[in-house]
Amino acid sequence: MEAPGSRAGHIATSAVILAAYLTLNSSLNLLNRWILGMYGFAFPLAMTVSHMAFSFVTLAPIMMLPSFRGLHKATLQKQWKGMLFIGAFLALNIALNNISLVEISLSLNQVIRSAIPVITAVLAVVIEQKTPTKAESMGLLVLTSGVMLAVYEGSGGTSRGIMICIAGTFSNAAMMTMSGKVLSEKLDVLRLTFYTSPISCLCLLPFYYFREAADLVQYSAVNAGSNFKGLLLLTCVNALLYNVVHYLMIQRTSAVTTTVLGEIKIIGLLFASAFLLGEKNDMTVKMVMGCALAIGGFCIYSHAKMYAKPQAPQPAAADLEAAQQKGAGEPLLASDKKAAMLEDVISPTKCIARGNSGERRTSSNLIKAVH
């Protein structure tokens, strides 16, 4: 049975991570919107490539420390497919989302992307073998419907733009789900960010070259005396911190729960703009109904997560084979020693391994902290 002090510590830690996640997410969105819109730096792909390159260069010295240096070979040999998957789908999500905004309205874009929690839950069944309960599924559907109703302001756009946005939405959900799977295999968030950043950067470079490179050269020449480079650097720092905390949220909760928190953040921003920025007149009956529906769906999902029975972990194929050998009378001392050595190689510290072993309990505690 979990000690009260340990449980309180899990809740406090989850609350801090949640606050950091929401703060960094909001600040990154505001900074990006300001520099891309109000400041006139209309090069979202160039910005994202800068974010990924900055993350890789900044984390490189940390990855060369003794506690990490000896882990790269074993980690990449075991999980290189997952790294490629995450990096590629992250880049695809960003590129397709930005391209879709050229052909459809922002409102319609947000309505389509509001379905990310549902799609993530479906993909989690296939990739992570995590099946949501009926109550969780109902909560996700109600939440998604509420957010769609709250942000929808009328259709506008082409069929091609809609299809591109849907493809980007599936890419985002796929990236989130695979991140949850990889992080559950004793990989820390710093290494995941370090490994996937150059992959995403390389995947985005062709989009950047054909869509923005020439215009960016002209913009840089005209605005040589401005401080857009300093602002771009600020967004790079924010993006690195957000990516690390984002992966940490997935690791401590789940991919689906993280998307749910992202949805409820949208509702929170709508209320904040209405009551703190004096935009109450912009709140329509439809928006209020959508917000209420989304909050209700969030409550259903949170209640289901808190009272869900933990699923027994499924033994790996190697463990089953070892158990059969042991039952046949074969000694397992050598294989046990190798398993222990492999565990030390995969995880840089025992603390990270212990954090992963408590992942399932922390998921429920995070939802309690949100309440």
Domain ranges of the chain: 12-307+334-370
Which stretch of DSSP H or E encloses residue 54?
Answer: helix 44-63
How many Cβ atoms from other residues are within 10 Å of residue 123's Cβ? Answer: 22
- Alpha carbon dihedral 120, 126, 130, 132, in 10-degree steps, equals 60
pLDDT in tens, 59-102: 999 999 998 888 888 888 888 998 999 999 988 888 888 778 77
The answer to whether the pTM exceeds 0.75 is no
The pLDDT of residue 161 is: 84
The pLDDT of residue 282 is: 64
Radius of gyration of the chain (CA): 22
Q: Nearest to residue 25, comparing CAs of 275, 243, 264?
A: 243
The pLDDT of residue 106 is: 67
CA 155/CA 112 separation, integer angstroms: 11
Residues of the chain with pLDDT under 70: 1-5, 38, 106-107, 153-156, 269-283, 308-371
The pLDDT of residue 149 is: 82
CA 226/CA 228 separation, integer angstroms: 6
